[in-house]
Amino acid sequence: MLRYAYLPGCSAESSSLEYDMSTRAVCKKLGIELVDIPFNCCGTHIVEEFNEKAWLALNARNLALAEELGLDVVTICSSCFFNMKKAKAMLEREEVKSEVNEVLERIGKKYEGNVEVKHILGVLVDDYGIDGIIRNVERLVEVKASPYYGCLIVRPEEIVRFDNTEDPKKMEKLLENLGCEIADNPFKTDCCGAPIMLIDKESHLRMVKRILEGAEGADCIVTVCPLCHYALDVGQAVLGMPEIPVLHVTQIVGLALGIEEKELGLDKNITPTEKLLEKVI
């Protein structure tokens, strides 16, 4: 059985509750065990810019919690994924690790460097495997799906080592085997501007508009990041654009596995999903 220390991230407790719900449901169905840890916020770039040592300590604490369990850590948040991967790379320098462990010592923790950081998409595609998922598919999701990766899960390549930086294919491979037709978006790895939505709304919405226009004609957009999901799901309503349901990747996987839509939190998405569900259920 695959077993991971689970770090859903802060958004999963509020604006992306349905991402956490669907992840737990999918993993339960597939027999993937998620062990909850008392995680803290990864600090994103905001804390890093203010105090790099504090930011490193935040991420090192989360990694240390997983180490104590002897497990690799999995997250559903691209920001958490990136920040932990970056921190882990920086902590490979002994002098940096030593300084951070001095901070962690105050709370009785120590980071050794014996844990890997994974994203739920990588766990599904690379660890569990497409063949295993196919064996559990109960219904084909025959819709036109537009994958949107966002920026943090694929770059910088030398840190995240997840997929091709400019043209990733993990999500396409997964969705095709669920029965989806792929609607390619030329902006699938562009930033959605979520980090600037509160300080430069006009630029943020301009970035969102381009991504949504790139998905024109699709039945749904599929995301792997809670911030990207929020930006696209809410952004189209703010912009007054035609409604395209925005699904978390675990929601569309869950549909293929025959999990009930309420268990996947599909009633919590901002853009209505009813018309999409009519094509599937």
* pLDDT per residue as tens digits for the range 105-152: 999 999 999 999 999 999 999 999 999 999 999 999 999 999 999 999
Q: What confidence score (pLDDT) does residue 219 get?
A: 98
Q: What confidence score (pLDDT) does residue 277 get?
A: 97
Task: Please calculate the CA angle 148-151-152 and round it to the nearest 5 degrees.
Answer: 115
Overall average pLDDT of the 191-206 stretch? 94
Query: Which one-letter amino acid corresponds to residue 206?
Result: R
For residue 77, pLDDT over 90 is answered with yes
Where do runs of H (alpha helix) occur along 147-223? Answer: 157-160, 170-176, 201-214
Q: What are the φ/ψ torsions at residue 136 (nearest 5 degrees)?
A: -105, 0
Query: Which one-letter amino acid corresponds to residue 162?
Result: F
For residue 46, pLDDT over 90 is answered with no
- In sequence order, which residues have a C-beta less than 8 Å from that of residue 18 and are 6 or more positions away? 248, 251, 264, 265, 266, 268, 269
For residue 281, pLDDT over 90 is answered with no
Mean residue pLDDT of the chain comes to: 97
Q: What confidence score (pLDDT) does residue 198 get?
A: 87
% of the chain at pLDDT higher than 70 = 100
* 96 — pLDDT class (breaks 50, 70, 90): very high
Q: What confidence score (pLDDT) does residue 106 get?
A: 97
Overall average pLDDT of the 259-281 stretch? 96
% of the chain at pLDDT higher than 90 = 96
pTM over 0.75: yes
Instruction: Residue 30: name the closest of 222, 252, 254, 277 by CA.
Output: 254
Instruction: Residue 230: name the closest of 48, 12, 23 by CA.
Output: 12
Query: Which one-letter amino acid corresponds to residue 41?
Result: C
For residue 45, pLDDT over 90 is answered with no
Convert 236-246 to b/e letters by CB count within 10 Å (16 or more is b).
beeeeeeebbb
Ordered by where they begin, the domains of the chain are 3-118 (1.20.1050.140), 139-278 (3.40.50.11810)
For residue 227, pLDDT over 90 is answered with yes
